[in-house]
Amino acid sequence: MTDRMLVIPRKKRRMRSPTENMKTPYGLEVVENHIPYPLPKDRLFRNLPQAVRAELAAISLSAAYRKGEILFAEGQAPRGIFVIYEGSVKLSANSFDGKSLILHLATPGDVVGLPGTISGKRYETTAEALEPVQASFISRKPFRDFVRAHGEVGLRVAETLSDIYHATYREVRYLGLSGSAEGKLARFLLDLTADQDHDHGHARAKLILTHEEIADVVGTSRETVTRLFAEFKRKRLVEVHGSRLLIVNKASLQKLLA
């Protein structure tokens, strides 16, 4: 799971409605009433019977978001869920003094806005596109009706909500029981590649966050993160090429967690 908490200055962002008349930014196709394709992480809708997927497509709207645009805002009445198909979305909570706490980074296959859509309570986070995003949007009432009509989907919703609970618990535990700076950076990098296949200790991932943002994730300074990255590269634990990360020695990184 590639989620980690960090504090950054709050910025005002434009919120785009999924039903707004849009062009196709960054070459992302905008198609109404369409579930583009199943993804490995798409737990809610993967492997549904064809007839059920047809029902789902009939209530779904494809929407594209530019970097920095808002899918939904904290405190807003829940409009529905978003299934991410391309790009990444950060979920953050805002404080009264203008700071933002990042709670999760949603990637293709993730569903955002589910707790509020099911409970009817206002969104507890703001969802912002970190890069060009393609998502399928399903309004709250049609989605709840769809869940009621299909017990298997209802079970999957319960499992997904349980995953969200346990992920939040892990984050609180991480903040309260943190170790050394190098151990926390090692954990961050391992978590970033947790969903990847490790071939002989190797795994690849995309680094979306800057060193300063990673420093806020792991609770240290930007200078420390930069120094530790240089040390990890010197020891052949990782390789970094632009925004691409390669875990070279997973076992050695895991030893730093102790």
What's the pLDDT tens digit per position in 87-139? 999 888 877 776 667 778 888 889 999 999 999 999 999 999 989 999 999 99
Is it the case that residue 24 has pLDDT exceeding 60?
Answer: no
- Dihedral, CA of residue 13, residue 19, residue 25 and residue 30, to nearest 10: 150
Amino acid (one-letter) located at 192: L
Distances in whole angstroms, Cα of residue 117 to Cα of each of 88, 89, 149, 154, 167: 20, 18, 16, 13, 19
**For residue 135, what is the enclosing H or E element?**
strand 133-139
Amino acid (one-letter) located at 238: V
Query: CA-to-CA distance for 171 and 169, rounded, in angstroms?
Result: 5
pLDDT (0 to 100) of residue 205: 87
**For residue 20, what is the enclosing H or E element?**
none
pLDDT (0 to 100) of residue 140: 97
Nearest to 31 by CA among 56, 60, 1, 66: 60
0.75 surpassed by pTM: no
Whether residue 185 contacts residue 72, with contact meaning beta carbons closer than 8 Å, is answered with: no
Nearest to 79 by CA among 107, 108, 121: 121
Q: SS3 of 132, please?
A: coil
Query: CA-to-CA distance for 203 and 254, rounded, in angstroms?
Result: 14
Whether residue 207 contacts residue 243, with contact meaning beta carbons closer than 8 Å, is answered with: yes
Confidence of residue 21 (pLDDT cuts 50, 70, 90): very low
Query: CA-to-CA distance for 110 and 128, rounded, in angstroms?
Result: 14
Query: CA-to-CA distance for 168 and 4, rounded, in angstroms?
Result: 10
In the chain, the domains with their CATH numbers are: 7-175 (2.60.120.10), 181-255 (1.10.10.10)
Query: CA-to-CA distance for 10 and 92, rounded, in angstroms?
Result: 10
pLDDT tens digits, one per residue of 186-232: 988 988 887 666 566 678 888 888 888 787 777 788 899 999 999 99
Whether residue 213 contacts residue 206, with contact meaning beta carbons closer than 8 Å, is answered with: no
- H helices of 62-198, in order, are 114-119, 140-149, 151-176, 181-192
Whether residue 123 contacts residue 61, with contact meaning beta carbons closer than 8 Å, is answered with: no
